[in-house]
A and B are shown apart, each in its own frame.
With several copies, the nearest count.
Chain A
C-alpha cells in the first residue's frame, strides 16, 4: 500500500489529507494518469510529485510502501 500526501487544494478535492492506494509498479507518469481517472483530484498537470521525500521524474517507478507527496505550485505572495 502507498500513502499519498496531498497539499493545498488537493486536500479539498479529495476530501482528505492523504490517500491510501496500491500504486506500486507504476511510473510517476502512469500514477498521474491513474489518479486523474480514478480519483476526484482532477487534473494533475503541473503538480510536482515526490517519492520518499525526493522529487521524481515521470519515468521513476513506484515501489511498495513508497510515500508519495503531491505538491501543487501556488502563486500567492
Chain B
C-alpha cells in the first residue's frame, strides 16, 4: 500500500496532485509553534524538499506547543532547525530537508530563494514577515501568513499579482502587539492556524490554485468565534511591496551589527551582518581556560559571565539572556568575543 494512498484517494489531489507535491520545494521560516506543525504536515504529505530556518534552540517552555521536539532536545539545547530535521527524517526519509540555523535576513533569503515554490510563515515577529512578504513578491512566490497568541489566531494566503499583500493589509510594521511571551498561548490555537496554512499549502503544491481561500481567517477558540473576511478592497496600487512602483523596502540591508531585544524574553540578540563563522571549539577552550563554565553542543556554546547567560552560534550571533538593555548586552558580547 502506498504511503500516500489516503491523500491520493482524496480526488481533488489524486495521483496527479500527489506527483506535483512530490516535485515541490518550500521554505518554512521559523520552526517554533507554527513551523513545527506545518513542516511535519508537509513532510508527511511527501513534498520533495523543505528548507527550515530558525535561529533559536529548543527550551523546556517550547514543548507545550512546539511539535517535533522532545525533552531530550530541550536538555541538549539542540537548535530548533536541527532538532526538527532529525524528527522529520524519521517521519519521512524521502524528503530532502535542509536545516538552516540562522537569522532569516535578506542576504540569506536572496541566496536560497531560487527554485522555491512556496513560503510558509512560522516566525514570531512582523519584521521577518515583512521581509518574507517582500521576497515573495520580488520572486513571485505564494506566501502563507499565519500568527497567533492566546486563543486568537489569523491566517491569509498571499498570491503575488492577485491578492493584497501583508503591507496592503497592515500598512506599516505593527507596533508591538500581543506575543506568546506576554499573554501566553495554548497549543490548539497553533493547530487551528496551521490547519489553515497547511490546507492552503496542499492546494498550491498540488496544482489547485483555484481552490485557494481568498479570505482572511481570524478566530478565537476560547470565545468560539470564527470570521472569514474579504480583503480585496485593501489591495493598493501604491504599495511599495506589490504596487506599480514597488521597491521591496524590507530587502534593503543595513550594514551594521544588528541588535534586537527579543520581545518578552528578557534577552538581547546580537548579530554581525556578514556572519563570519566563529570557531566554537576554539572559543570554548579559551573560555574554559579563563575559568568560565562553558556548556553547549556542536551547534552552539553557552557561557555564564557575571550571572548573565550568553549563547553563541556558529554564525557569530549571540543571545544575551537576563537583560533587555542592548548596550549592556553588547558589552558582554564584546567582552567575550572581541
CB nearest to A71 among chain B residues: B218
- Choose, from B108-116, B220-228, B287-295, the stretch at the interface: B220-228
Do A48 and B233 touch across chains, with their CB atoms under 8 A apart? Answer: no
- B-chain residues with CB within 8 Å of residue A7 when the two chains form the complex: 152, 218, 220, 225
- A-chain residues with CB within 8 Å of residue B180 when the two chains form the complex: 76-77
Chain A positions 34 through 77: 1 when the CB is less than 8 Å from some CB of chain B, otherwise 0: 00000000010110101001111100100000000101111111
CB nearest to B185 among chain A residues: A76
- B-chain residues with CB within 8 Å of residue A14 when the two chains form the complex: none
Contact partner, A77, options B121, B172, B230, Cβ 8 Å? B121
CB nearest to B172 among chain A residues: A46
Contact partner, B154, options A55, A57, A71, Cβ 8 Å? A71
Tally of contacts, chain A with chain B, CB under 8 A: 110
- Choose, from B123-131, B252-260, B278-286, B301-309, the stretch at the interface: B123-131
Do B223 and A8 touch across chains, with their CB atoms under 8 A apart? Answer: no
In the bound complex, what is the Cα–Cα distance between A74 and B148 (angstroms)? Answer: 6
A53-B230, A55-B216, A55-B229 known; A75 and B175 CB under 8 Å? no
Do B149 and A75 touch across chains, with their CB atoms under 8 A apart? Answer: yes
CB nearest to B169 among chain A residues: A48
A8-B149, A17-B223 known; A73 and B231 CB under 8 Å? no
Do B123 and A74 touch across chains, with their CB atoms under 8 A apart? Answer: no
Do B148 and A73 touch across chains, with their CB atoms under 8 A apart? Answer: no
In the bound complex, what is the Cα–Cα distance between A31 and B234 (angstroms)? Answer: 17
- A-chain residues with CB within 8 Å of residue B34 when the two chains form the complex: 77
- A-chain residues with CB within 8 Å of residue B216 when the two chains form the complex: 55, 71
- A-chain residues with CB within 8 Å of residue B263 when the two chains form the complex: 75
Q: A5 in the interface, Cβ–Cβ < 8 Å?
A: yes
- A-chain residues with CB within 8 Å of residue B146 when the two chains form the complex: 77
- B-chain residues with CB within 8 Å of residue A60 when the two chains form the complex: 233
Chain B positions 141 through 170: 1 when the CB is less than 8 Å from some CB of chain A, otherwise 0: 000001111101110000000000000011
In the bound complex, what is the Cα–Cα distance between A72 and B232 (angstroms)? Answer: 18
Q: Which of B20-47 contact A (CB under 8 A)?
A: 30, 32-35
CB nearest to B32 among chain A residues: A77
Q: B276 in the interface, Cβ–Cβ < 8 Å?
A: no
Do A73 and B228 touch across chains, with their CB atoms under 8 A apart? Answer: no
CB nearest to B220 among chain A residues: A7
Q: How far is the CB of A19 from chain B (nearest CB, A)?
A: 15
A9-B178, A46-B175, A53-B230 known; A74 and B124 CB under 8 Å? no
Q: A26 in the interface, Cβ–Cβ < 8 Å?
A: no
Contact partner, A75, options B179, B193, B230, B231, Cβ 8 Å? B179
Q: A11 in the interface, Cβ–Cβ < 8 Å?
A: yes
Contact partner, A54, options B170, B183, B193, B229, Cβ 8 Å? B229
Do B148 and A76 touch across chains, with their CB atoms under 8 A apart? Answer: yes
- B-chain residues with CB within 8 Å of residue A75 when the two chains form the complex: 124-126, 147, 149, 174, 176-179, 263
Do A74 and B170 touch across chains, with their CB atoms under 8 A apart? Answer: no
Among B126, B177, B220, find the residue whose CB has the most chain A CB atoms closer than 10 A: B177
Contact partner, A76, options B147, B175, B215, B220, Cβ 8 Å? B147
A-B contact pairs, 14 of them (CB 8 A): A5-B225, A9-B177, A11-B223, A17-B225, A46-B174, A46-B177, A48-B169, A54-B232, A55-B234, A69-B229, A75-B178, A75-B263, A76-B178, A77-B30
15 more contacts with CB within 8 A, not counting A8-B177, A77-B33, are A7-B218, A9-B178, A17-B223, A46-B177, A55-B229, A56-B233, A69-B229, A73-B147, A73-B170, A75-B177, A75-B178, A76-B33, A76-B180, A76-B185, A77-B35
Interface residues of B (CB under 8 A from A): 30, 32-35, 121-126, 146-150, 152-154, 169-172, 174-180, 183, 185, 193, 215-216, 218, 220, 223, 225, 227-234, 263
